[in-house]
Amino acid sequence: MKLTEERMYQASLEKDSSFEGIYWMAVKTTGIFCRPTCTARKPKRENVEFFINTEKAIENGYRPCKICRPLEKLNETPRYIQNLLDELQQNESLKIKDADLLKKNIEPVTIRRWFLKNHGMTFQAFQRQFRMNKAFKKIKNGENIIEVALESGYESLSGFSERFKDIIGTTPNNTGHQKIIDLKRIETPLGPMFACACEEGICLLEFTDRKNIDLQLTRLSKAMSAEIVQGENKHFKQLEEELNEYFERKRTRFEVPLYIIGTDFQKKVWQLLTEIPKGETRTYKQQSEFLGNPKAVRAVGTANGINKIAIIIPCHRVIGSDGELVGYAGGIWRKQKLLELEGAILF
């Protein structure tokens, strides 16, 4: 599956995002290198060369483009937004209003657009979910409801209870049997991912631009009879540390606890995925043979496709019988980069 330089050049002309992360284009006349989606004016074909990673581009004397910023993580959270998130994490009663943003020289409309694009809600709605997530856990642990309401920044218990029910799905007095799933957006070199976790472990890990990600979250919520709410979870720190080690080639196996939902057959397929050694691939046919049912190729492919925990349950290590990289919901380019990272394929 080796790309020709002509195809890469055409992809850059078209600003084709499906090639993001596969190659970088360097311009001989300016000495800079760019992402495939860079909006800068495209140079003539004879003035460019291509690299499969940024390190090679830099080794050859090129510097990163200031427009597309190829050294930054794909769709990385801007530092000023990360600072706001850190403030919310440190102060559970904090309510950052538009006036507060303006004092920080941040345009409220910019924040609103970013959160709508990346979280599907406004910044104010995000803050409310974040506060109620913390409040739910405190009440669940036996803390006094009135005290929790005050700590959450509410002067009225009725106002707190109404907002609590809107977000959590039940009143503060009825949290006993209610469940929530914590949701967090995390950064990776291949783009941001949504991580979901419950008390038992990680129950979803998907790239945020995966097709039908909203449907995935809805199905998870229904399967677990729980509300999905923005917030922290004890498993997220371990998950992020292990993912960082994985991308730095320092980790071959994940140890973060998982909470897997599926049929017995699906769980067998997913378990078999975790047994494919790093640096190797298998075909769908081989997977079905390992399961003892050579005719279950299509069923194996379907189970792979609905795997909710990307990378950790490595469905990217399964390829077509002809060796083609097919069937990866996070994008074929990501499948390619993951296999390159693991040493399973070389380009």
What is the distance in angstroms between the CA of the first residue and the CA of the last residue of the chain?
8
* Distance from the Cα of residue 321 to its chain's centroid: 29
What counts of helices (H) and strands (E) characterise the chain? Answer: 14, 10
CA distance 124 to 232: 17
Instruction: Decide if 27 contacts 43 (C-beta within 8 A).
Output: yes
Q: Is 65 a catalytic residue?
A: no
Instruction: Decide if 336 contacts 346 (C-beta within 8 A).
Output: no
DSSP string, 197-253: E-SSSEEEEEETTSTTHHHHHHHHHHHHT-EEEE---TTHHHHHHHHHHHHTT--SS
Give the β-pairing of 63-64 and 32-34.
Answer: parallel
CA 277 to each of CA 216, 248, 280, 281, 314: distance values in angstroms, whole numbers, following the listed order = 27, 18, 6, 8, 10
Tokens of 36: 């495939």
Of 34, 68, 198, 315, catalytic: 315
Residues labelled as active-site residues: 315
